[in-house]
Chain A
């Protein structure tokens, strides 16, 4: 069993499980983001939440096909700071996207399958594009990052 846990595919699956955990957190977090935004500003949060739900479901299916137990969402999550305004909500969304980006960079690093790298590229880029919008809304210059998901 120890050998199984040390195979390249096991490493890839572990990274995908971490990405699934990040997706769970993002889905939960966007509920908080949306609740803190005025009604007419919620479209971006709803779209982002939908995107993370889609990735979450895809990961659950992929890991299930591979015989890996998909990680479940946490019973609760701690907010990194109080979310009391639209600016706080945007800042939280940027944090959520940053967490997702970090998880997917690790997926690229640990990926065996080319198709996994392709999926990771897609998700990582989408997360950064959303994050740029949220950092802008939160007033967090510079709103772009040279190395999304990587420690700088």
Chain B
């Protein structure tokens, strides 16, 4: 198996330490002198902090996609409102984990045709899930766990929208 980037050289900054403590999923890093496995996994490089911030933008785009799909297909809003709520909860948790995120969401590609909201939304959910899952591979510790859980949750959305 290839070595993990988790054990590579790291740069520690105040921003990255804040990012870790905000993740709230494991032991918060209070300094960079500890060498316990949990501290090691939850220490974060600038690259990892930037990567997590990018996923905030991905999730923002997905939340917008839910809104667009519901506008195009009001019946979908009634059936899938809980999914949109969950997407919003995921966004909140990501923001908590990346409090200094300044990434901007990009608008979802196009807009669904009337009556085609579900299929279009399912595609947007799949794109976001794949993005989070891919990003999780480059994270470690609590950040990786959060992204992995969100990606799995979105796979569940995708299945329900099929």
The interface of chain A, by Cβ under 8 A from chain B, is 6-8, 10-11, 101, 104-106, 108-118, 120-121, 124-125, 127-129, 131-133, 136, 141-150
Contact = CB atoms under 8 A, between A and B. Distances in A.
A63 to B, nearest CB: 13
A45 B118 CA distance: 28
B149 A118 contact: no
Interface stretch (B45-53, B63-71, B108-116, B152-160): B152-160
Interface in B1-56: 1-7, 25-26, 36-38, 40-41
Given A144-B83, A150-B25, A105 B148 contact: yes
Given A108-B136, A115-B1, A128 B86 contact: no
Nearest to A109: B145
Interface string B82-123: 110011011001000000000000000000000000000000
A144 B86 contact: yes
Contacts of A149: 145, 148-149, 152
A146 B136 contact: no
Interface centre among A101, A108, A117, A147 (most CB of B within 10 A): A108
Contact of A150 (B40, B149, B155): B149
Contacts of B89: 146-147
Most A CB atoms within 10 A — which of B86, B93, B140, B148? B148
Given A132-B159, A147-B90, A117 B136 contact: yes
Nearest to A104: B148
A7 to B, nearest CB: 7
Contacts, number: 130
Interface of B: 1-7, 25-26, 36-38, 40-41, 82-83, 86-87, 89-90, 93, 129, 133, 136-138, 140-142, 144-146, 148-153, 155-160
B4 A121 contact: no
Contact of A7 (B37, B87, B136): B37
B153 A109 contact: no
Contacts of A141: 82
A114 B140 CA distance: 9
Nearest to A101: B152
A144 B160 CA distance: 8
21 contacts: A8-B40, A109-B25, A109-B26, A109-B145, A111-B144, A112-B6, A112-B7, A113-B3, A115-B2, A118-B137, A121-B133, A124-B148, A125-B155, A128-B152, A128-B156, A129-B156, A133-B159, A146-B150, A146-B153, A149-B149, A150-B145
B160 A146 contact: no
A108 B89 CA distance: 21
A150 B138 CA distance: 19
A147 B149 contact: yes
